[in-house]
Structure 1
Amino acid sequence: LINQTFPTKQISVILAMEEKEDINVRNSKFETLNSKFGGNFNHFLTTVHKLKKGEISGKASNERFAAVWFKKRFIDEAKLNIDYFTVTSCDADHKYHPNHFACLTFKFLDNPKRFRMFWQPAVMFYNNIWELPAITRVPNTFGSIWNLSQLPRKDRLINAQNYSLSYKLLDEVDYWDADKIPEDWGIFFKAYYKVKGGLEVEPIYLPLHADAAQSTSFWKTIKVQYEQFKRWAWGASDDSWIIKNYLIDSEIPFWDKTTRLMHVISSHFLWPVNWFMITIGLTIPTLLNPAFGRTTLGYMVPKLSSLILTIALSFLIVLLFIDYVYRPKRTQKVSIWRIIISPFEFVLMPIAGFIFTALPGIDAHTRLMLGKYIEYKVTEKV
């Protein structure tokens, strides 16, 4: 943040903490950061959120408390104009491009629909990419490129992980819901239905580097990465509420809300089954009916599928090039040999896809179906 080309004296930083954290640890963190960086900003503040009845421990309840507190304590008491404030939801491990807030400010001031907009950068899990085992480096690489690829898709782009919006819009829709775990898609659709559509997510074409899940050992890293994907798959818990609002709303244009709903359904409902459809889907008809394999269709489908997958595989070269451009340069700890073999890590895609896509998706959706709700766990990032 202190390296922003935008004047940092116009940025207020809130270190939002939880009461359940040890008070000495909390105070030590804040005092260390404040003494080192506090003088660079307009405000460098901390909030301590105490979990109340009806709230769920997580980012949503914590952010809500901090945002409501700042509005009352600094905007309302000083009688400042809320129209000129933006809010950015940021994790502690996120590293901004130096021009991020300059770009955000320009887009905010230049857009006449500024109070009906979210802004989303390309979140890329590259801070510790060279320290990860290959099995988790593969999904984090693909996840980073996927986040980048979604930015031009305004019809389906939804804010996630790190995003900004006007304080006025956030206050208008009554902030994040403190009783939910999913907070990014949750605040988007809460605002979307509250203001009756017309809401968009505008891309910020700048990379934002984040830490991937990492623990102190190989197996612990596998576990924390799995838990992170399971929490993301838990976003399906919002789908019934989104569908309900879709059905009862009569003001949002039909195709606008339908396009949004279809994206939500395809993203969440297909999450646990995509891996199976791609890897073993074509063998199922033959297993169920061996005679099918002797028909013309049964003979041609595997060949056609093989051709399609081969063509799709050729685009892996494009992905490798994008990864090469954006991935941080190797440190001295990383050997040349590791650089040479890194493109071949993508042969782990089927295994990584099963462990970090299919399994956590099935896990989360089954728990949701049985009413065995998960608790928010902060992803370990050493």
Structure 2
Amino acid sequence: MSCPDLEIPLGKRSKLYRFFEMLPALISYGMLILLVVLSVLSPFLAAIYLLLLVLTTFVKAIGISYRTLLGHRQLVRAEKIDWSARLDDLSQAAAGKSPEIKINKKDFEADVHQQTILSIEKGELQIIDPRDIYHAVLIAAYNESYEVLKPTVESVNNTTYPNERLIVYLAYEERGGEQMAETARRLRDEYAGVFCDYRIIQHPKDLPDEIPGKGPNITYAGYDLKQWCDNKKIEYNQVIVTTLDSDNRPYSTYFDYVAYKYAVTPNRERLSYQPVALYFGNIWDAPAPMRVLATGNSFWTIIGSMRPHALRNFAAHSQPLSALVSMDFWSKRSIVEDGHQYWRSYFYFKGDYSVMPIHVPVYQDAVLSDTFKATLISQFKQLRRWGYGASDIPYVAVRLFTRQRTAPFWETLARFIRLIDNHVSLATMSILVAFGAWVPLLTNPEASRNISAHALPLIVSHIQQVAVIGIFITILLMLKMLPPRPERYKRSRTVFMVLQWFLMPVTSICYSSAASMAAQTHLLLGKYLEKFDVTDKATLSSRAKTKAKKDALKKARRKSKL
């Protein structure tokens, strides 16, 4: 299959492309402005408009709560499975031997596994022998410290997948400086001989036709992986590539689980495999606003795992090397290379592509910088980068409404509408739910005489009170999923883990909504975000050093004044 042009444009865009770049911001700002206009012209229509939006959000919240509970249950069940043993069952069945399956029918997908073995034995299902499957793990780094990267590499080492079939890459940036290069070499020396191969690849800076970011970095490493496989005479379809950020720690059975699904799925090349991202790695150390956002983002990925039709690539994910080679790996022009990879794959395979949920986690860290102020800023930049996924809207639109279309129209249109809805809702609904009920009363003196407008704040308040049940569900699940409290913290820290949820309205508006609006505004004005803002990854030791420097500086200033 020849590779079509899958890249987003750099420089000047066509008029059609610019229109769809502006569209999400126009809709988001338009929804807010429309409430004000209706409040001035007709408080009754404003009340109807807001209630429709609030009730729609309320119905979605019910679905979110249900899927959160169901997704958590699936997560717990999948974590208990010995996926390595199931891979052995596949290998025996493929070799013509009848495996002795010791399985509880109540186990996760037990009936599916038994039926799979039966299909292999009957010759109805052709699989790849799991013993022939390699995992290539690309760890992307910029300037992270040894203390951040070492646990990530060690977590890969501690998985249950055989190390002789793990190929580990540390893909780091030349822009990260000599200290980063020294850290890479140190880790290479430590892990020499531990895996099938451990390679360090430095991505040169200022290469043509690419932006500074993760996508170009891991693509550069991908080229080396392709050459490595050629030299070793390993077929591309025998290799599954997993991308990890520098602070990612895959669950112990993650690679076995992915290999199992890859081996038994007929259209394996046209799938990617998406774990659940849990931002609990340093959750006890992060400030309260970041803990709220990290927990919310974690549950968002749990919910996504229960909606396979709407699931997209996000953060750490896996994809066959054969597919990556065919489509020239990842985008070198997008700062959201993970989500954008879904659309690249979707259009490359002409719509015959989907994302398979993997119901075990890849643990990640909440945003944490060396100072509280820097943490607040870094968190906003991270969410703005995620919100810049709205840049996929024009990318999809020109491949839907023009002769470039290669995927089925109606199916792609449904995905396109869902894409717009997700970005617009994230930018606007928190603001509308929080303040919308008061707009008619504040903008139109006649609104106080209108029964519907006058009662609107009370009605919305009642709906919000019912919706609080969803927050209670989130709190209970969070407390069950939290890692053990470090000894350096008192029990009172657990109490603050509950009280922090009073910050949710603030974080929803000042971070989730504001960051999304900022990203869409950049697209509206044509001020493109073409530089990857690397999220700070501080450690307790780096924070202590920063604090010591600040204290020493303050002390020196006091002495100079005497």
Query: Where on the TM-score scale, by shorter chain, does this alignment land: which range?
Result: over 0.9
Residue in 1 aligned with 2:428?
Answer: 273
* Displacement after TM superposition at 1:61 (Å): 0.6
What is the one-letter code of the residue matched to 1:279?
A
Residue in 2 aligned with 1:17?
Answer: 172
What is the one-letter code of the residue matched to 1:295?
N
* Displacement after TM superposition at 1:355 (Å): 2.2
| Distance in 2 separating the partners of 1:137 and 1:250 | 42
The one of 524, 532, 537 equivalent to 1:376 is 532
Residue in 2 aligned with 1:292?
Answer: 447
Instruction: Work out whether residues 95 and 208 of structure 1, in 8 Å CA contact, stay in contact via their aligned partners in 2.
Output: yes
SS in 2 for 1:9: helix
* Displacement after TM superposition at 1:13 (Å): 0.6
* Displacement after TM superposition at 1:251 (Å): 4.9
User: Is 1:246 matched with 2:390?
Assistant: no
Instruction: Work out whether residues 185 and 200 of structure 2, in 8 Å CA contact, stay in contact via their aligned partners in 1.
Output: no
| Distance in 2 separating the partners of 1:107 and 1:293 | 60
Report matched runs for 1:93-104 at 5 Å.
Answer: 93-104=247-258
* Displacement after TM superposition at 1:300 (Å): 4.3
* Bigger shift: residues 228-237 or 241-250: 241-250
The one of 383, 386, 410 equivalent to 1:229 is 383
Residue in 1 aligned with 2:65?
Answer: none
Residue in 1 aligned with 2:99?
Answer: none
* Displacement after TM superposition at 1:207 (Å): 1.7
User: Is 1:218 matched with 2:372?
Assistant: yes
* Displacement after TM superposition at 1:281 (Å): 1.5
Deviations 1:141-173 (A, max 9, x none): 111111111111112110100100111111122
| Distance in 1 separating the partners of 2:180 and 2:499 | 43
Instruction: Work out whether residues 400 and 409 of structure 2, in 8 Å CA contact, stay in contact via their aligned partners in 1.
Output: no
SS in 2 for 1:120: strand
Larger-gyration structure (1/2): 2
* Bigger shift: residues 113-122 or 293-302: 293-302
What is the one-letter code of the residue matched to 1:37?
Y
Instruction: Work out whether residues 314 and 338 of structure 2, in 8 Å CA contact, stay in contact via their aligned partners in 1.
Output: yes
| Distance in 2 separating the partners of 1:71 and 1:311 | 54
User: Is 1:362 matched with 2:517?
Assistant: yes
| Distance in 2 separating the partners of 1:27 and 1:251 | 43
* Displacement after TM superposition at 1:250 (Å): 5.0
Residue in 2 aligned with 1:264?
Answer: 419
| Distance in 1 separating the partners of 2:330 and 2:273 | 17
| Distance in 1 separating the partners of 2:241 and 2:493 | 40
Deviations 1:230-271 (A, max 9, x none): 111122222211111122365533442122212211222333
Residue in 2 aligned with 1:310?
Answer: 465
| Distance in 1 separating the partners of 2:191 and 2:463 | 53
TM-score, normalised relative to structure 2: 0.65
Sort the Cα spacing of 1:293 and 1:169 in 2 relative to 1 into closer, same or farther, 3 A: farther
* Bigger shift: residues 104-113 or 316-325: 316-325
Report matched runs for 1:134-153 at 5 Å.
Answer: 134-153=288-307
User: Is 1:64 matched with 2:204?
Assistant: no
Q: Output the aligned Cα RMSD.
A: 1.7
Report matched runs for 1:106-117 at 5 Å.
Answer: 106-117=260-271
User: Is 1:322 matched with 2:477?
Assistant: yes
Instruction: Work out whether residues 188 and 200 of structure 2, in 8 Å CA contact, stay in contact via their aligned partners in 1.
Output: no
Report matched runs for 1:48-87 at 5 Å.
Answer: 48-50=202-204, 51-72=206-227, 74-87=228-241
Sort the Cα spacing of 1:35 and 1:78 in 2 relative to 1 into closer, same or farther, 3 A: closer
| Distance in 1 separating the partners of 2:495 and 2:175 | 46
| Distance in 1 separating the partners of 2:247 and 2:309 | 29
SS in 1 for 2:535: coil
Report matched runs for 1:342-357 at 5 Å.
Answer: 342-357=497-512
Residue in 2 aligned with 1:91?
Answer: 245
* Displacement after TM superposition at 1:199 (Å): 1.1
Residue in 2 aligned with 1:7?
Answer: 162
Deviations 1:270-306 (A, max 9, x none): 3322221111112223333333343332244333322
Instruction: Work out whether residues 155 and 259 of structure 1, in 8 Å CA contact, stay in contact via their aligned partners in 2.
Output: no
- Structure 2 gap segments, 5+ residues each: 1-155, 539-562
Instruction: Work out whether residues 155 and 260 of structure 1, in 8 Å CA contact, stay in contact via their aligned partners in 2.
Output: no
Deviations 1:23-63 (A, max 9, x none): 3x234212321233332211100111113122100001111
| Distance in 2 separating the partners of 1:82 and 1:15 | 20
What is the one-letter code of the residue matched to 1:239?
I
Instruction: Work out whether residues 272 and 319 of structure 2, in 8 Å CA contact, stay in contact via their aligned partners in 1.
Output: yes
The one of 316, 340, 343 equivalent to 1:189 is 343
* Displacement after TM superposition at 1:213 (Å): 1.4
Deviations 1:325-374 (A, max 9, x none): 22111001111112123211111111112221122222222222222233
What is the one-letter code of the residue matched to 2:236?
I
| Distance in 1 separating the partners of 2:388 and 2:496 | 34
- Say how many residue pairs are matched: 380
- Structure 1 gap segments, 5+ residues each: none
What is the one-letter code of the residue matched to 1:181?
I
Instruction: Work out whether residues 145 and 322 of structure 1, in 8 Å CA contact, stay in contact via their aligned partners in 2.
Output: no
TM-score, normalised relative to structure 1: 0.95
User: Is 1:154 matched with 2:308?
Assistant: yes
